[in-house]
């Protein structure tokens, strides 16, 4: 069946789903194949749960006239999303970067939603499946769509731009994340810059943080840019005030006191302010939107348990965000500090070097209460005062000996380390 015909059926549906475990009545179910399951096997279930149409690529899965057979279900999903994007004439703002994408996306959404009808990526559904799902959730009555794009290898952002066709774009930062798939730091810069390449090729607009020399270098002399940063020569001048513990910044005559910790969140907030200003959101609305935004899901959360203050940053980790978290932790007030840091994943051949240089850096900053957990950290050379634990189970037997009265604790590690489990041990 041609994509136009699938599209006319999509228009009869309430939504698109790829999962029979959370499927909406009257949706279009795409039977994807994954590492664990073949969606074609769940077609009967999809109809039982209320799907209107099922898109399949196994002829044995065709059980009624509402099954649509295609060569490749994933490709069909991506083509349908592209077709839909071309049919809805709304401005799309896309963002990528090594760190802070979801936070920045949520902040921009909060700011623009004060004044406009806006939809954005749910959670971080930001890959080759998530981006099509995001676009298919947009409709032509929106004022803006915000699309977060993630990548762990070259050409991925270019591919996602082809589907989303952004009118505006921004890169939060270039860091040492997913080094394995990108083949090193230069690969990250090239891969993320595919967003700029798309904007340049299509005369679209880039938001550029001029405090980040990498952004300035990568955008080159491309004229369609909106600049911001600490220098008054920018289109928008934004000043960092402090992050102790919450980030405060100043623009025009407004001071924003956010509920986000970490000076690294300054750039994430600044670009949300600038997007708001550029699209004529009032200063009062920008301020209110940002000041009421609270992070969740283990992303730089600040928690209190009796007299103990906990910075729970266990959602993910990579050398850049780990370094940023440690530096921020160092400048925070507090006499008695503990660090619980877990392995960083997806670093490939750089894993050993990156874990070692991070440990050496931490030991320069802190002389005690350093706990590093996981196989990679376990292999590093450390001072005798640093506590190396090969696994979470090893930490369990150590942690109950510690006294956290009046302490401040940083918890950070890769998703697979799931260091939020520490909370139950405190």
Ligand X SMILES: Nc1ncnc2c1ncn2[C@@H]1O[C@H](COP(=O)(O)OP(=O)(O)OP(=O)(O)O)[C@@H](O)[C@H]1O
Ligand Y SMILES: C[C@@H](N)C(=O)N[C@H](C)C(=O)O
Write out the residues near ligand X by the rule CB under 6 A: 99-103, 124, 150, 172-173, 264-265, 267-268, 299-300, 313, 315-316, 320-321, 324-325
3-state secondary structure of 400: coil
Nearer to ligand Y, 215 or 320 (CB): 320
Q: How far apart are the C-alpha atoms of 18 and 286, rounded to whole Å?
A: 35
Q: How far apart are the C-alpha atoms of 187 and 192, rounded to whole Å?
A: 8
Query: What are residue 147's DSSP bridge partners?
Result: 94
Do the Cβ atoms of 242 and 265 come closer than 8 Å?
A: no
Nearer to ligand LIQMQMZN, 57 or 301 (CB): 57
Do the Cβ atoms of 248 and 271 come closer than 8 Å?
A: no
345 binds, among ligand X, ligand LIQMQMZN, ligand Y, none (CB under 5 to 8 A by kind): ligand Y
Specify the residue for token string 């299509």: 202
Parallel, antiparallel, or unpaired for β 301-305 and 308-313? antiparallel
CA atoms within 13 A on the CB side of 326: 25
CB atoms within 10 A of CB 72: 12
Site string for ligand Y, 383-422 (x = CB under 6 A): -------------------------------xxx------
414 binds, among ligand LIQMQMZN, ligand Y, ligand X, none (CB under 5 to 8 A by kind): ligand Y
- Tokens representing residue 147 in the block: 């699309």
Site string for ligand LIQMQMZN, 155-174 (x = CB under 6 A): -x------------------
Determine if 150 is a binding residue for ligand LIQMQMZN (CB under 6 A). yes
3-state secondary structure of 313: strand
Nearer to ligand LIQMQMZN, 56 or 256 (CB): 56
Q: How far apart are the C-alpha atoms of 78 and 73, rounded to whole Å?
A: 9
For residue 183, say whether it is annotated as part of any ligand binding site.
no
Determine if 36 is a binding residue for ligand LIQMQMZN (CB under 6 A). yes
287 binds, among ligand LIQMQMZN, ligand Y, ligand X, none (CB under 5 to 8 A by kind): none
Q: How far is CA 336 from CA 209, 332, 333, 349, 383, in A?
A: 35, 11, 9, 35, 19
CB of 262 to ligand Y, least distance (A): 16
Site string for ligand Y, 331-360 (x = CB under 6 A): --------------xx--------------
Determine if 130 is a binding residue for ligand LIQMQMZN (CB under 6 A). yes
CA atoms within 13 A on the CB side of 392: 16
Nearer to ligand Y, 347 or 362 (CB): 347
Applying CB under 6 A, which residues contact ligand Y?
A: 316-317, 345-346, 414-416
In the annotated binding site, the residues are: 97-103
Annotated binding site for ATP: 97-103
């Amino acid at each position: 069946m041609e994509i136009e015909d699938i599209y006319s059926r999509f228009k009869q549906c309430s939504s698109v789903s790829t999962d029979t475990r959370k499927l909406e009545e009257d949706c279009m179910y795409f039977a994807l194949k994954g590492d664990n399951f073949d969606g074609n096997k769940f077609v009967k279930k999809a109809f039982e749960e209320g799907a209107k149409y099922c898109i399949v690529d196994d002829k044995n899965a065709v059980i009624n006239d509402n099954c649509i057979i295609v060569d490749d279900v994933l490709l069909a999903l991506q083509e349908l999303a592209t077709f839909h994007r071309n049919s809805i004439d709304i401005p799309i703002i896309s963002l990528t970067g090594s760190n802070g994408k979801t936070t920045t996306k949520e902040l921009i959404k909060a700011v623009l939603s004060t004044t406009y009808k806006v939809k954005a990526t749910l959670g971080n559904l930001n890959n080759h499946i998530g981006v099509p799902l995001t676009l298919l959730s947009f409709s032509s009555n929106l004022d803006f769509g915000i699309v977060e794009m993630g990548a762990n290898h070259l050409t991925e952002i270019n591919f996602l731009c082809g589907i989303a066709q952004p009118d505006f774009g921004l890169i939060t930062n270039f860091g040492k994340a997913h080094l394995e798939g990108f083949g090193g730091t230069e690969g990250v810069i090239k891969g993320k810059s595919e967003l700029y390449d798309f904007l340049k090729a299509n005369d679209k607009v880039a938001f550029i943080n001029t405090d980040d020399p990498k952004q300035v270098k990568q955008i080159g002399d491309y004229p369609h840019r909106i600049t911001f940063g600490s220098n008054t020569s920018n289109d928008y001048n934004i000043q960092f005030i402090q992050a102790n513990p919450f980030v405060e910044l100043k623009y025009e005559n407004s001071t924003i006191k956010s509920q986000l910790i970490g000076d690294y969140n300054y750039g994430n907030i600044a670009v949300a302010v600038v997007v708001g200003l550029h699209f004529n959101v009032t200063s009062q609305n920008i301020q209110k939107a940002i000041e009421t935004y609270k992070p969740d899901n283990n992303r730089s959360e600040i928690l209190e348990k009796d007299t103990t203050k906990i910075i729970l940053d266990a959602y993910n980790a990579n050398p850049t965000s780990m370094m940023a978290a440690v530096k921020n932790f160092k400048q925070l007030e507090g006499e008695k500090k503990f660090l619980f840091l877990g392995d960083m994943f997806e670093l490939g051949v750089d894993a050993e070097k990156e874990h070692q240089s991070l440990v050496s850096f931490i030991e320069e900053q802190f002389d005690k209460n350093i706990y590093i957990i996981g196989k990679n950290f376990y292999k590093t050379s450390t001072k005798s005062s640093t506590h190396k634990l090969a696994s979470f189970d090893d930490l369990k037997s150590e942690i109950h000996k510690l006294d956290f009265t009046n302490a401040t604790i940083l918890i950070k590690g890769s998703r697979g380390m799931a260091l939020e489990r520490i909370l139950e041990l405190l």
